[in-house]
Each structure stands twice: as structure tokens, then as C-alpha cells.
Amino acid sequence: MKKNFTTEAINLKNYPLNDNDSIVVMFSKTKGLIRAVAKGAKRPKSKLGARVQMFIANKLMLFEGKNLDTIAEAQSLNTFSKIRNDLDKLSYSMYLAETINNFCSNQNKQDENNEEIYDLIFNAFDKISTAKTKEEVLLSVLKFQIKLMNILGWGIDFKMCSICQKEIETNAVFSFQMGSFLCPKCAKNSPNCIKIHDKIREFMQTLLIFDFNKETKYDSLANLAVLEKCFLFMKKYIDNISHKKTKIFEVLDIVQ
């Protein structure tokens, strides 16, 4: 007899299994990344149809399966409805989903970080959904990038040189080869480095240590150009670690 279990989960992706059923990829609060069949979800009058769309948080009851679980019941907790009505919000939310899938696909289902990651995804989608400007969207995405890497053990130390272990006062550079910041002296013989302004380091360090929903002094000061540069910096760092370049923005460029 199949065991059932309940959990909260956020839909990251769905695709058809057959004419009537869909497979939903979700990140759950208790079991991490899971895949489940939503039977009859593609039928016009299906109760599950609306609840298995991308970027919806549900409280679920599922039956365990060998390879795929089966959704028995779903109750929406948050539809993050405004994500689907805005191309920027949709694009960055798809980036978040792709990043989670790249890093968590082989994660142990009993991982102690599952709840923390779930809460991070939930907060990020919620902030993106309710954002009124692109700056607010990017700020939420940047917080997500920095905090996810920290949770997974790939956090960046924005203050210390990774070679001499001394605090960097000014003129820091980031080595993508080493995945860390270096002081000017230690960076002399290190290839593939970029200079990062002291204020940018301070900005990202603040986002790391503050709670996701905590407003910082930078929330209204960071302009679009700065936020885009920080996002691209973190994206390159994350792509280097995962060895899987996120492709959502390349796809959107082709479509547009």
C-alpha cells in the first residue's frame, strides 16, 4: 500500500506526461526537490489544473512512488499571481527556478536545509510578484542569489582575502578561478580577476547578513545599473560553480 505524506511545495516547472496528466517539479519544505504526477490536470474541469502551474505554492497531500509521487490533494497558499503578467518578473522567476533545479536535483531529500531553501524561494517569489519596479525585482533576485549560495556552502566572503586571510580595506578584486575575493597584493599573480568597488562589496555583504524581508539602507539607493551589474556578477559566479550555464535569458533573447 502506498504511503501518503503532506508538505508545502512551490511549483518550479511542469510538463505533460500524456494527454490528461502533467508532471510537476516542485521544491518542498520537507523533501527538497520532488517530481509528482498531477492526474487529470490537463482536463478542462480539473481541480488540479490551476494549482500545478509554475510559481504557485501549495499545501499538498501526495502518495509516494518509486520514481514519481502522485498528487492527491492541493490547496493553494500563494499564487504569486503578478509574476505571470510581467515579462521581467517571469524571466527572473524562471532563472530562480532553473538555479534551484541545477543545484538541488541531487540533493538528499532529508537535507536539513530544505526548509530554509523553501522559505528563501517563497520570499523571493513573493517579493518579485509584488514588486513595483524592475529595481525591486532585481534586488530580490540578488538577495536570493547571495543567500542561496551561502545556504549551500558556497557563500562569498565579501570582506576577507582568501589567500592572506586579512580584511580587505580597499581595491579588492574577485577571482572567478578561486571563487573568492583577494586583496591587491595577493591578486597580482591571479588570472581572471575583476575589480569590485568597495561600496558594491559593502552592499552585497549587507544583503548577505540581513534577513530577506529586512529593509536595508540600500533598498532605495541602489540604481538599476548597479543592480544589473551585481546580478550578472553573481550569475557568472553561480554558473561557474554549477558548471551549468543558466539559459533562460538566451532563450528569451531568441524569442524576442
136 and 24 in a common domain: no
* pLDDT the model gives residue 150: 97
- Residue 16 pLDDT > 90, yes or no? no
In total, how many domains does the chain have? 2
Report the range of poorest mean pLDDT among 121-125, 153-157, 198-202, 240-244.
240-244
73 and 131 in a common domain: no
pLDDT digit string, tens, across residues 57-80: 999 999 998 889 999 999 999 999
More confident residue, 140 or 245: 140
- Residue 116 pLDDT > 60, yes or no? yes
pLDDT digit string, tens, across residues 128-160: 999 999 999 999 999 999 999 999 999 999 999
CB atoms within 10 A of CB 164: 12
103 and 57 in a common domain: no
Domain boundary among 78, 100, 120: 78
Contacts of residue 154, Cβ cutoff 8 Å, sequence gap at least 6: 179, 241
- Residue 112 pLDDT > 80, yes or no? no
Which whole-number Å values give the CA distances from 160 to 20, 141, 168, 184, 186, in the listed order? 55, 24, 6, 12, 12
- Residue 88 pLDDT > 90, yes or no? yes
Give the mean model confidence (pLDDT) for residues 44-56.
88
* pLDDT the model gives residue 199: 94
* pLDDT the model gives residue 255: 38
- Residue 54 pLDDT > 80, yes or no? yes
* pLDDT the model gives residue 250: 62
Q: Please state, in angstroms and rounded to a whole number, the distance separating the CA atoms of residues 98 and 247.
A: 8
Q: Alpha-carbon torsion 190, 222, 130, 253, what sign?
A: negative
CATH number at residue 127: 1.20.1440.120
Give the mean model confidence (pLDDT) for residues 160-178.
95
Closest CA to 210 of 139, 128, 161, 162: 139
pLDDT digit string, tens, across residues 20-47: 999 999 999 999 999 999 998 888 878 8
110 and 13 in a common domain: no
100 and 52 in a common domain: no
61 and 89 in a common domain: no
214 and 123 in a common domain: yes
Q: Starting at the earlier edge strand, list the strands of the sheet with 193-195.
A: 180-182, 173-175, 193-195
Specify whether the CB–CB gap between 173 and 181 falls below 8 A.
yes
Q: Is the whole-model pTM more than 0.75? A: yes
Is beta strand 57-63 parallel, antiparallel or unpaired with respect to 4-16? antiparallel
Percent of the chain's residues with pLDDT above 90: 74
CATH number at residue 19: 2.40.50.140
Q: Please state, in angstroms and rounded to a whole number, the distance separating the CA atoms of residues 244 and 238.
A: 9
Is beta strand 57-63 parallel, antiparallel or unpaired with respect to 32-38? unpaired
- Residue 247 pLDDT > 80, yes or no? no
94 and 218 in a common domain: yes
* pLDDT the model gives residue 49: 82
Residues in the chain: 256
Q: Please state, in angstroms and rounded to a whole number, the distance separating the CA atoms of residues 11 and 17.
A: 16
Domain boundary among 28, 58, 78: 78
Range of the domain at 160: 82-255
239 and 144 in a common domain: yes
Q: How far is CA 35 from the centre of its chain?
A: 18
59 and 153 in a common domain: no
178 and 65 in a common domain: no
Domain boundary among 29, 54, 78: 78
Give the mean model confidence (pLDDT) for residues 86-94.
95
Give the mean model confidence (pLDDT) for residues 218-241.
93
218 and 97 in a common domain: yes
Q: Alpha-carbon torsion 120, 234, 225, 210, what sign?
A: positive
Q: Please state, in angstroms and rounded to a whole number, the distance separating the CA atoms of residues 55 and 248.
A: 15
Longest Cα separation, the chain: 66
